[in-house]
Chain A
Amino acid sequence: AQSVSQHNHHVILSEAASLELGCNYSYGGTVNLFWYVQYPGQHLQLLLKYFSGDPLVKGIKGFEAEFIKSKFSFNLRKPSVQWSDTAEYFCAVNARGNNRLAFGKGNQVVVIP
């Protein structure tokens, strides 16, 4: 079974600061990788996903993530955050061909204006 680790559960930043959230997974086979965001009171929304191809993935709202296979990592980045990026961010993984997702515990990100 897959497992996903996210560190630094609570992150507090000022606007315009850069954000990087780490995600490491453990699984020996081929995986699909996702970052979801949950704004306060809302449903989970997909930020970006990686299935294959270019390991640098660009998502919505200026986010990007890089898949480094040798490190089993899929870190999320944004060069300059805004107050509206305050949310909880979840990394998720599934085995290729199986839609059952394994989630990390999430990163609660607070951006201070």
Chain B
Amino acid sequence: NAGVMQNPRHLVRRRGQEARLRCSPMKGHSHVYWYRQLPEEGLKFMVYLQKENIIDESGMPKERFSAEFPKEGPSILRIQQVVRGDSAAYFCASSPATGDTEAFFGQGTRLTVV
């Protein structure tokens, strides 16, 4: 749904640089999810956040990756010291609540590490 805004759409980083991916959820949505899609793979869950809280980060790599969803502003997925294996499409989704609701996805950010 066009309501979930991700930027940038494309991001190129050299190995060792930092990548910051932004996600603004749909209006009224307080739950944000980040997924990663590697080539020829389905989307893999990374992290689930509510405002100012990380609820489930079981899909996040243990090092270099972090996420936040501050009280004001977009959710940020941050990748430090990027490596070629981080090249992927990163999708953000939002939902109005937990429980049995659908998630609405953004268009994704395609990260390329050179």
Is B one of A's binding partners?
yes
Question: Using a CB–CB distance below 8 Å, which chain A residues touch chain B?
Answer: 4, 6, 9, 32, 34, 36, 42-46, 49, 51, 90, 92, 96-106
Please determine whether A44 and B105 come into contact, CB atoms closer than 8 angstroms. Answer: yes
**Chain A residues positioned under 8 Å from B33 (CB to CB):** 99-101
Please determine whether A99 and B98 come into contact, CB atoms closer than 8 angstroms. Answer: yes
Number of A-B contacts (CB under 8 A): 60
Given known pairs A43-B1, A43-B108, A44-B105, the reply for A100 and B42 (CB within 8 Å) is no
Given pairs A6-B42, A43-B107, A100-B45, 12 additional interface contacts (CB within 8 A): A36-B105, A43-B4, A43-B91, A96-B100, A97-B99, A99-B95, A99-B101, A100-B33, A103-B35, A104-B42, A105-B41, A106-B42
Asked if B48 is an interface residue, CB under 8 A from chain A, the answer is yes
**Chain A residues positioned under 8 Å from B56 (CB to CB):** 100
Please determine whether B42 and A99 come into contact, CB atoms closer than 8 angstroms. Answer: no
B 1-35 to A, binary, CB cutoff 8 A, 1 in contact else 0: 11010000000000000000000000000010101
